[in-house]
């Protein structure tokens, strides 16, 4: 799978694609089409884990390198650059896109993660439906995914760091959550973090604290989307 992401993604792959209309109107975000690229059968997804206009190109493994090289030849003159997983992690966190197993664990429900919209409300039944109605999974006080902004914008929190309401309480302190993802965002000019916090969404705008070995870090609870909140960059 080759991901081509950014405002020129469509322009880069358009000369290589056959039998698929990849215009915004014909292939909107989250759609999939089958056809050819570089003469090779492809399953083309209009998908983005970066928050940018993007396509994910799936081809048989034996053709992966040749298709990659053709895409690179098309994109390099337009200023394309290869990007790795660390860059992808920062981009997805800026948009509040979660990584299952990092921003979630076996205790986090779709509602906790802010993903209730993804549950099929009109389905008569599905695997896990009864579990989502368990009293303990809909009780008040559950940990919810939120964003955090540090008072010092240059301070990057440690992933796994615990969060408290009162940093002056006696030890052992009551921990109300922890940091799941934390990065420096160059485009924003400040650090960003995601965390799971008890009743976190109701605390947006409130100040919490992250006690570390040699200092206590002050943070503000925020929404999970730090960049391009209206999603405009996904389209184009």
Domain boundary pick from 62, 83, 104: 83
Q: What is the pLDDT of residue 236?
A: 73
**pLDDT score for 121:** 85
Question: 186 in a domain, yes or no?
Answer: yes
Taking the C-alpha atoms of residue 173 and residue 162, their distance in angstroms, rounded to an integer, is 10
Mean pLDDT (the chain, rounded): 96
The answer to whether residues 74 and 30 belong to one domain is yes
Residue 101 has a pLDDT of: 95
- Going by the DSSP 8-state scheme, the letter that residue 5 receives in this structure is E
- Report residue 134's pLDDT band, with 50, 70 and 90 as the boundaries: very high
DSSP helix/strand/coil, 146: strand
83, 109, 135: which is the final residue of a domain?
83
Domain-embedded: residue 234: no
The answer to whether residues 210 and 184 belong to one domain is yes
**Do 76 and 170 share a domain, yes or no?**
no
Residue-wise pLDDT for 34-92, tens only, equals 999 999 999 999 999 999 999 999 999 999 999 999 999 999 999 999 999 999 999 99
Q: Calculate mean pLDDT across residues 152-158.
A: 97
- Rounded CA-CA distance 73/23 in Å is 21
- 120 pLDDT band, cuts 50/70/90, is confident
Question: 61 lies in which domain range?
Answer: 2-83
Tally of domains in the chain: 2
Would residue 88 count as lying in a domain? no
Task: Provide the pLDDT for residue 110.
Answer: 94
Same domain? For 165 and 101 the reply is yes
* 206 and 168 in a common domain: yes
* Residue pLDDT, tens place only, 9-38: 999 999 999 999 999 999 999 999 999 999
Q: What is the mean pLDDT of residues 187-213?
A: 97
Question: Is 227 domain-assigned?
Answer: no
**pLDDT given at position 235:** 87
- For residue 28, give the 3-state DSSP assignment: coil
Residue 233 lies in a domain: no
- Look at residue 204 and tell me if it is in a domain: yes
What lies within 8 Å, CB to CB, of 160 at 6+ separation is 178, 179
Per-residue confidence (pLDDT) for residue 37, from 0 to 100: 98
Look up the pTM and report it.
Answer: 0.91
Given CA atoms 130, 136, 140, 146 in this order, what sign does their dihedral have?
Answer: negative
Shared domain for 104 and 209, answered yes or no, is yes
Count the residues in the chain: 236
Percent of the chain with pLDDT over 70: 100
Q: Which of 32, 55, 83 is the last residue of a domain?
A: 83
What proportion of the chain, given as a percentage, has pLDDT over 90?
92
66 falls within a domain: yes
Domain-located, residue 40: yes
Whether the bond between 172 and the residue before it is cis, its omega within 30 degrees of 0, is: yes
Q: What is the CATH number of the domain that holds 140?
A: 3.30.1360.120
- Here the tokens at position 154 are 């240059």
Confidence of residue 7 (pLDDT cuts 50, 70, 90): very high
**Is residue 88 classed exposed, middle or buried when 0-12, 13-18 and 19+ CB atoms within 10 A define those classes?**
middle
What is the tens place of the pLDDT at every residue in 156-181?
Answer: 999 999 999 999 999 899 999 999 99
Same domain, 102 and 214: yes
The answer on 117 and 62 residing in a single domain is no
Residues 143 and 204 occupy one common structural domain: yes
Q: Please report the DSSP string for 44-62 in residue order.
A: EE---SSSSSEEEEE--GG
Q: Indicate whether 69 and 180 sit together in one domain.
A: no
Shared domain check, 125 and 71: no
């Amino acid at each position: 799978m080759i991901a081509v992401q950014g405002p020129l993604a469509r322009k880069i792959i358009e000369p290589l694609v056959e039998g698929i209309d990849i215009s915004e109107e014909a292939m909107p975000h989250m759609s999939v089409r089958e056809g050819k690229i570089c003469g090779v059968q492809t399953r083309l997804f209009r998908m983005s884990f970066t928050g940018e206009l993007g396509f994910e190109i799936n081809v048989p493994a034996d053709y992966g390198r040749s298709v990659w090289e053709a895409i690179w030849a098309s994109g390099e003159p337009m200023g394309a650059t290869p990007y790795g997983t660390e860059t992808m992690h920062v981009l997805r966190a800026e948009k509040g896109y979660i990584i299952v197993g990092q921003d979630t664990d076996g205790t986090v429900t779709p509602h906790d993660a802010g993903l209730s919209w993804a549950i099929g409300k009109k389905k008569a039944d599905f695997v896990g439906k009864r579990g989502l109605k368990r009293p303990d999974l809909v009780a008040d006080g559950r940990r919810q995914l939120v964003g955090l902004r540090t008072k010092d914008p240059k301070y990057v929190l440690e992933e796994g760091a615990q969060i408290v309401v009162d940093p002056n309480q006696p030890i052992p302190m009551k921990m109300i959550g922890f940091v799941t993802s934390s990065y420096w965002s160059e485009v924003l000019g400040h650090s960003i973090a995601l965390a799971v916090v008890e009743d976190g969404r109701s605390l947006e705008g409130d100040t919490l604290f992250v006690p570390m070995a040699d200092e206590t870090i002050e943070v503000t609870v925020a929404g999970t989307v730090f960049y391009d909140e209206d999603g405009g960059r996904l389209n184009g």
